[in-house]
Amino acid sequence: MGKYKEDLGLALELAGMSDQLTMSRFEATDLSVKSKVDMTPVTDADLACEKMLREELAKARPKDTILGEEFGGDATPEGRQWVIDPIDGTKNFVRGVPVWATLIALLEDGEPIVAVISAPAMRRRWFACKNSGAFRLFGGEPRRLRVSQVETIEEASIAMSSLEGWKERGLRKEFLELTDSAWRLRGFGDFWNYCLLAEGAVDVALEPEVSLWDLAAPYLLVTEAGGQFTSLDGENTPDGGSAVATNGRLQDAVLGYFNSPATAVRQTEVPT
């Protein structure tokens, strides 16, 4: 894993600690659930996990900064920064659905260089290191990942999280036009969309509104598996507020659905 081997080792060690903590609270009868300002849920497991990760990183990498979903921080384009989502898929976690994961990424000057996605209830873990490939652990030895070779939307399997955000952005019509043209649409949701894309199991994964802590780790996993990952505006970054990830062959075609002159006009007409 080259120059980032020690950082990846640390991230994997932290993921193991997170797995133990989060699994101890998954389906717990005394799980505490509250609503945040944006009306999304947060549990005692989210808070305890991020707190633990911050404490461990402060000891292991005291000079690095930290950005996390629950305790904040400021994204920085300079230096080394760890980006954490203690439980991506909290709504699933609360309802007893096993599709949730801890996301840990290390950014250097704003670019992801190490990523770990750990889904203990699914018994899966994914990881990637800059210029060293993407891998999945699911029993046995790590399996190197490669995106699919599908070349047309008509043959493509698309993964999404929900329809609501597309409506809020004034892009529901464009999204439905895209998915109506595709071979298949499935709502796997959250991190799993991007992991399946990196595995070659789906060909497109996209979200209209999403945060850096949701995307930093998936961004590196997808790109190291040979895919492409941009915002809806086509910017190659995990910090663009939206996500369009594909096997690379489909990137321009997918972005074309959302970046026509007619789309721009309709977006300006959406009430704020």
Give the end of a domain, one of 112, 144, 176.
144
19 is in an annotated binding site: no
Tell me: pLDDT of 37 over 90. no
- Segments forming the whole domain that contains residue 229: 153-268
Tell me: pLDDT of 270 over 60. no
Domain harbouring 206, CATH code: 3.40.190.80
87 is in an annotated binding site: yes
Which pLDDT score is estimated for 39? 74
Which pLDDT score is estimated for 266? 46
214 is in an annotated binding site: yes
Q: Are residue 161 and residue 139 in the same domain, yes or no?
A: no
**Residues 198-219: pLDDT tens digits?**
999 999 999 999 999 999 999 9
Inter-residue contact 89 to 189 (CB < 8 Å): yes
Tell me: pLDDT of 271 over 80. no
What is the count of structural domains for the chain?
2
**Residues 51-80: pLDDT tens digits?**
999 999 999 999 999 999 999 999 999 999
**More reliable by pLDDT, 166 or 267:** 166
Give the end of a domain, one of 83, 111, 144.
144
70 is in an annotated binding site: no
Q: Are residue 138 and residue 234 in the same domain, yes or no?
A: no
Give the end of a domain, one of 121, 144, 167.
144
